[in-house]
Amino acid sequence: MNAPEFELQTLGAVELRIPARAEWVAVARLAAAAVASRMRFSVDEIDDIKLAIAEACTSCIQRSEGVENIDIRWDALPAELRITVVGDGRGPKLESVKNGSDDKVGGLGVFLIRALMDTVEYEVDPERGPRLVMSKSVQP
């Protein structure tokens, strides 16, 4: 018997909250792979999505002040996977603003996200935690 094909419309959304600590980033990565594998992404695209999620979480941990938790939401849409990553902090770390680290290794992470995903919106509010929304299209 053939396995039923998934209707992407029915996949809906998946949400995950992880503590904003380095040892939890792998959990977000594994969850990203699980969600992406339910859609029609190739193995290479799933690797891209895993890395993009990890970079977003790492950015929340390293570059924002007072982030205790990171909320991740995957929206499986008919033609794309949209991912929202939100840290519950109080804005960017003072030292990352002073020494310009956003343009160095932290910036490399954001550069990777932009290279691997189709669309990326990154907001760093001085008063709030970071918010990143990214998407990747499903190839027909």
Which residues contact other proteins by CB under 8 A? 22-23, 25-26, 29, 44, 47, 50-51, 54-55, 57-58, 61-62, 105-106, 108-109, 111-112, 115-116
Of the two residues 29 and 76, which places its CB atom closer to other proteins in the complex? 29
**13 versus 108: smaller Cβ distance to other proteins:** 108
Measured distance CA(136)–CA(39) in Å, rounded: 11
Shortest reach from residue 81's CB to other proteins, in Å:
18
Rounded to the nearest whole angstrom, what is the least distance from the CB of residue 78 to other proteins in the complex? 27
List the structure tokens of 5. Answer: 């094909």
Min dist. Cβ of residue 108 to other proteins (A) = 4
Rounded CA-CA distance 54/51 in Å is 5
First to last CA, the chain: 24
d(Cα 89, Cα 130) in Å, to the nearest integer? 7
Which is it for strands 69-76 and 12-19: parallel, antiparallel or unpaired? antiparallel
Distance (Å, rounded) from C-alpha 130 to C-alpha 17?
Answer: 15
Q: How far is the CB of 27 from other proteins (least distance, A)?
A: 9
Place of tokens 């950015």: 59
State which residue, 35 or 48, has the beta carbon closest to other proteins: 48
Between 39 and 45, whose beta carbon lies closer to other proteins?
A: 45
